[in-house]
């Protein structure tokens, strides 16, 4: 029986693994993607990690991975399908049929951003396609930006970007927004925010970076 099974090898999972190893615990990291380091790998530039400003996300993730492996952390490629609680332990089941028993489970599998599913989206990830205005907004300072969605996150991101971008387009496929009416009214009062409803993105264009979007 292991002391710890850590699910996910992003920054959180690798940090947990490093602490476990330093505490002399018998631990393993399970990651479904081969040598994956989480969503940070899709960031073209990371400016908010202390001591390493301006480093690209892929390189930063690789540095985390090298740190963990340098300490002897065991990382296995496996997709977890179930976690069962026993009296004093957990049984982790993997897609390949393997099971692992451990005293503790650290669930650091992260999340997956909702995609539009349009041409150009995957190709231009971290090249102008972003999922976090607060994280990446500074890269678009003084530029034109488009926010796609109609919930609170979309409205809040559009409002945040309006302070740093030349022009912000808020694009929603429906006529009404699900987000807070108060935020929507603030956006309607801003001269550099254009709201487009009943509009869908058909394609994100560009080669090495986003240069436009095609709407229906």
Residue among 47, 94, 132, 157 flagged as catalytic: 132
Residue among 3, 26, 111, 136 flagged as catalytic: 136
Q: What are φ and ψ of residue 31, in 5° steps?
A: -135, 130
* Beta carbons of 122 and 42 less than 8 angstroms apart: no
Active site (annotated) includes residue 136:
yes
Among the listed residues 17, 20, 29, 116, the one whose alpha carbon sits nearest the alpha carbon of residue 68: 17
Active site (annotated) includes residue 165:
no
Number of helices (H) and strands (E) in the chain: give both, helices first.
5, 11
The residues that bridge with 168 in the sheet, in sequence order, are 145, 193
- Percent helix / strand / coil, the chain, rounded to 5: 25, 30, 45
Residue among 135, 152, 163, 211 flagged as catalytic: 135
Catalytic residues: 132, 135-136
């Amino acid at each position: 029986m292991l002391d710890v099974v850590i699910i996910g090898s992003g920054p959180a999972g690798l940090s947990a693994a490093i602490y476990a190893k330093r505490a002399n615990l018998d631990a393993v990291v399970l990651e479904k993607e081969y040598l994956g380091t989480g969503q940070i790998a899709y960031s073209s530039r990371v400016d908010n990690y202390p001591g390493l400003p301006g480093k690209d996300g892929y390189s930063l993730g690789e540095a985390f991975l090298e740190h963990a492996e340098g300490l002897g952390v065991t990382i296995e490629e496996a997709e977890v399908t179930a976690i069962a609680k026993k009296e004093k332990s957990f049984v982790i089941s993997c897609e390949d049929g393997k099971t692992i028993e451990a005293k503790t489970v650290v669930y650091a599998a992260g999340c997956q951003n909702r995609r539009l599913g349009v041409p150009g989206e995957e190709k231009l990830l971290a090249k102008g396609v972003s999922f976090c205005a607060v994280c990446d907004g500074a890269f678009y300072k003084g530029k034109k930006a488009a926010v796609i969605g109609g919930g609170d996150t979309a409205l809040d991101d559009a409002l945040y970007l309006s302070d740093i971008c030349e022009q912000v387009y808020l694009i929603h496929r429906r006529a009404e927004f699900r987000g807070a009416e108060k935020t929507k009214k603030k956006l309607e009062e801003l001269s550099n925010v254009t709201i487009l409803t009943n509009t869908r993105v058909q394609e994100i264009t560009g080669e090495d970076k986003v240069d436009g979007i095609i709407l229906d």
